[in-house]
Each structure stands twice: as structure tokens, then as C-alpha cells.
Amino acid sequence: QEGAMENTTCIITFFLTGFEEMDNERYFYFVCTFLGYLMILFSNLLLILVIVKERSLHEPMYIFICNLACNGLYGTIAFFPKMMADLLYKVQTISCVGCLFQTFCLHTYAVCELSSLAVMAYDRYVSICNPLRYSSIMTQTKIYKLLVVAWGYPIVIFTINFSLTLRLPLCGSVIGKVYCDNWSLVKLSCVDITLNSIYGLFTTVALVVPPLLLIAVSYFKTSKVCIRASKKDRGKAMQTLVPHMVTLANYVITILFEVLQHRFDMSKLPHIVRVLISVQFLIVPPLLNPLIYGLRIQEIKKKIAKLFQARRITPT
């Protein structure tokens, strides 16, 4: 075991074998990935630009939507460029530092997405259930505190888990996916990983249960108020609530795909299907979130239309 541990210090490159069986259609997948990444960049940057530029959108709800778009860009930047580069090479490798960096970014993106959705659910709860006190509750200071918690809490919890992974001596260098993730690195260890498994379970509970409880309670209380409200008020409330619920469902479903990939044997599925399942949480939320908010929330839709109309005006 001591010899194996000494050898692990020499592992400076990991091999990503998730690209196997994709050789014949590699350029097709590259084009699809490139176009998807362009759409994600354009839609999220446009949403951020409109919210930052229009002072009328400097309200809590739109600030939290902007935060969600920023998180989506953060996650995709750590995945898409490397993915596209790998599709152009016959052998897919990643340096040890690059693998650790990608692992940290992708995991923190995923957990910050859920905590951001929890903060947005709380904001909608205050807006609909306490409309007269909304301005006094959701102050500028309160918004900043919520954003710090949405990013700080999950990053701190995962960093402790990640530090346990960094201490492990690794005996292998093959990762059977198209990107690096924490559990794949843990499974390459030469030593007992019981501590990592126990803390990994604790991390999952600590990162998932509190945000989901906050979301569930917020939506439950908000739904009760909507049911009792008049038809007109109910319509206004649902107009802002529906995009958040669709975004949450979108995120939960894509994360569920990744959990199923880890927990169950999916070797009978076609290889490309397994790859798509493993990257759903990195593609679908950042791609659909700007479309959901841009199309469902009237104020954002109006400002986007106004921006493009201004671009088309020419001097006479």
C-alpha cells in the first residue's frame, strides 16, 4: 500500500474515457456542443445585460434572476470549453490541476443553483404573502446577505468535502466520464474511503435538505394565499411564481438524472444516452432558465424588446 501511495504523487494526468464510441460522429457532437454553448452564452449574457442596464429592473426578483444567470455561466465555463477541445482530439486527457479545478467548479455550480432557487422562492413568498411589507423586508442589505448565504454556505460545506478528497492517495488515472467529478476521484483511491462516504452523505443532506425545505414551505404558503386571492390577484401572482416553479422542476429533473447515473447500472443504455444523462444538469438549466424568465416575465420581455428596437433605430 505504501508503494501505491508513493505512485499516486506521480499522477499528473487523468484520462476521460466517456468519449469512447463517439469517434465516428465526433465533429457532429462538436457542432452541437458549440451551438449549445453559444446559445447559453448569448441568452444568459443578454438577460444579465438587460437587468443591469435597466434601472427599473434593479429590484430583488430581477437581481436574483441575474444571480441565477451568472451561476449558469460559471458552471458552463468550467465544462464546455474543455468538452469542445476534447471532441477535437483522439485522446482525451486533463491535468491533475485542471481536473481538480473542474470538479470544484461543477459541484459548487450545482449546489449554488439550488440555494439560489431557495432564495428566489423566499423572495416570492415575501412578495405574495406580505406585499405591504415587501420593501421593508427585502432591503438592499437583506438582498446582499441572501446572496452571500446562497453562495457562501454551499461552497463552504462542499470545500470541506473536497479537502477530504484532496488528502486521498490515488492509484488510478482513468475517469469514465466526459468531465471530472468528486466521486470519480474518490473511487480512484488506494485507501479506505469510508470517511469520505460518510461525510459525502452528510454533505448531500446538508446541501439539499435545507434549501428544499425552504422552497417547499415558501411554495406551500404562497399557494395558500393564491387560492384565497381574487382571480385578478391570483393571475398576477402566478405570472411570477410559475417561472420559478418551472425552473425548480427543470433543475431537480436534471440532477435526478445524474444521481441515477451514479446509483444504478446503466450499461445497457447506448453510450451517447449515458453521456447525455450525465451532462443534463450542465446544459438544460443554463439553456432554459433565460428563456423561461425572458418569455414568462412581462417586464423582462418588454425590456429585451426595447433593447432590440433601440438597436434597429437609425438616424434619418
pLDDT in tens, 255-293: 877 777 666 666 677 777 778 888 888 998 999 898 888
Q: Does the structure show a pLDDT above 80 at 84?
A: yes
Residues 106, 109, 111, 114: is their CA dihedral positive or negative? negative
Question: Is the confidence at residue 314, as pLDDT, over 70?
Answer: no
Structural domain boundaries, residue 200 = 11-312
Tell me what pLDDT residue 264 has: 67
Q: Evaluate whether residue 5 is within a structural domain.
A: no
Q: How many structural domains is the chain composed of?
A: 1
- Does 177 fall in a domain? yes
Helix (H, G, I), strand (E, B) or coil at 13: strand
Q: CATH no. for residue 183?
A: 1.20.1070.10
Cβ-based neighbour number of residue 3 at 10 Å: 8
User: Is the pLDDT higher at 222 or at 44?
Assistant: 44
For the whole model, what pTM was predicted?
A: 0.87
Domain membership flag for residue 3: no
Asked whether residue 1 is domain-assigned, the answer is no
User: Across all residues in the chain, what is the average pLDDT?
Assistant: 85
Q: What is the mean pLDDT of residues 37-50?
A: 94
Q: Residue 2: is its pLDDT beyond 80?
A: no
Place of cell 459525502: 200
Torsion of CA 149, 152, 157, 161, to 10 degrees: 160
The helix (run of H) or strand (run of E) holding residue 175 is strand 174-175
Which spans in the chain are helix H?
Answer: 2-8, 26-53, 60-77, 80-87, 96-129, 134-137, 140-166, 182-186, 194-228, 231-263, 271-296, 298-312
